[in-house]
Structure 1
């Protein structure tokens, strides 16, 4: 029996359908004005950071998240960073700057957020651009995290016994995989152990030969590990599913170029509000809900939003 959702009909590709050959290639196309307006003519109106600290009752510890976001007209592009990693002047550098200038900024998170804002501006998450909206119910941050995790894992197409490399440890995602009987390898630069006592590996590329599919955070864009993961998936035909607050408008561009599916979550993120929300799914397997579920779900777990590699 399948341990997770089988693939459904493919979603229509995003507008300007030719997939880029690399992340740098995508940036070059934007700078050349091939995907929309000349980025030199577009300016970031607002730059801001969102910092979060969480500690749930009954948990052994907590976590922190920080996200850089850039507002371009109606669009907001984002890149998560390690708390405290941004220089004090980064936000000031961005406010009022043109997008082209920020695409060549010395700080990677600024470049990623600027690219995300531009692509969100020219190809927002709409059905016309290949996105299928998926509602998140109102609830606590934990309840919404678990609902998001289910929506993400439904994009995987793995058979019984196949192993998923999870790049960016998010407890709700691990819980959902466990409830479906899907073996996984948890990977995060921070190392340590999962809530279930499993060791967390720290070098994703060293684990690629041990897995049958990869489930990775958009934060891999910010730490430079996305391209090696994408190239591996493309070369060997391995499934690569991305869950993205960082670069939610960037990653759908790589569908068919190593990326199999994307769960895109633009700002504002689920953890900012207790009301209903929406995420956007691209690629096969969306929302079918098929698959064998072995065992019982674990108790409620909190999770970080997007963990690092």
Structure 2
């Protein structure tokens, strides 16, 4: 079992984590494990009472009892990717030319090796049944609670989710919304596109796991580590990957493996991890 307060020894970057997985240093030889099922999940949503909507697309890979996922920009994933994953061994997928395939494969492998259980540092948070907006707001509160900041502090939010912005505002926190797509928030606030350019003027970072798939996670982790800032990850993408960086730039993770809250109206479970708290981080 890995340490309760830090990432595995020697894991100093995402690439280092992949290398350790390939070497069999984190569990079974990934070359001996095959993906049984590969699928994509696509959705479009516009919550009641909201003036704007959004779309999601997620690649998911099933390894035994585990499902690993990586979100992609809608339409960006070629259809052949799903067929290429089915029956492939995990080691080959960790070297796949498409980054989302590599991330989903690593997530599935680590979910198989260290599922979200108390033994691995996860603390379950019940997500109540409700409408899409009610569940979105409940998740947002669970994520925002992982930030330890006084009112008036400024948070860089990478991956704009309007319910998260609401939750930050309710706590008296300022925020800078950032997303590669740009645009404006539900309330007409401009969304910046360069996270690193804005990070210096923010006290903490609240970042989507989707940054794993688009290659922007490592610079943000390094910024947080270098400047001693809180970096809280909300993770549907890489929910089993990101806890590995607790104490190495990541201060907390709200992990949400498949199936995600937006797939149905029933109850669900989130898994929270914190660095530096015994039994509350991997």
**Alignment: residue pair count:** 275
- Aligned-pair distance for 1:55? 2.5
Q: Which residue of 2 aligns with 1:207?
A: 198
Deviations 1:268-308 (A, max 9, x none): 0001111110000000699xxxxxxxxxxxxxxxxxxxxxx
SS at match of 2:57: strand
1:131 matched to 2:122: yes
SS at match of 1:210: coil
Determine the C-alpha separation between the residues in 1 that align with 2:74 and 2:27: 33
> Shift of the alpha carbon at 1:194?
1.0
Match of 2:133 among 142, 145, 154: 142
What RMSD, in angstroms, separates the aligned Cα atoms of the two structures?
Answer: 1.5
| 1:231–1:285 distance in 2 versus 1, CA, 3 Å | closer
Report what 1:8 is aligned to.
none
Distance 1:63 1:183 in 2: 23
- Other structure's SS at 2:200 match: helix
Gaps of 5+ in 1: 1-10, 287-309
Summarize deviations over 1:137-157 as a string: whole Å, max 9, x none.
011111111000000000001
Contact kept in structure 2, 1:187 and 1:202, CA below 8 Å: yes
Post-superposition offset of 1:160: 2.7
The aligned counterpart of 1:12 is 4
Aligned to 1:268: 259
In structure 1, C-alpha distance between the alignment counterparts of 2:88 and 2:207, rounded to whole Å: 31
Tell me how far apart the structure 2 counterparts of residues 190 and 151 of structure 1 sit (CA, whole Å). Answer: 25
Runs of 4+ in 1 over 6 A off after TM superposition: none
User: Residues 239-278 of structure 1 correspond to what in structure 2 (within 5 A)?
Assistant: 239-278=230-269
TM-score, normalised with respect to structure 2: 0.94
CA distance 1:267–1:215, change in 2 (3 Å): same
User: Partner residue of 1:179?
Assistant: 170
Say whether 1:86 aligns with 2:77.
Answer: yes
Name the CA distance, whole Å, in 1 between partners of 2:177 and 2:49: 23
Listed as ranges, the matches of 1:1-309 within 5 Å are 12-13=4-5, 17-18=8-9, 20-283=11-274
Whole-Å separation in 1 of the counterparts to 2:107 and 2:13:
15
Gaps of 5+ in 2: 278-282
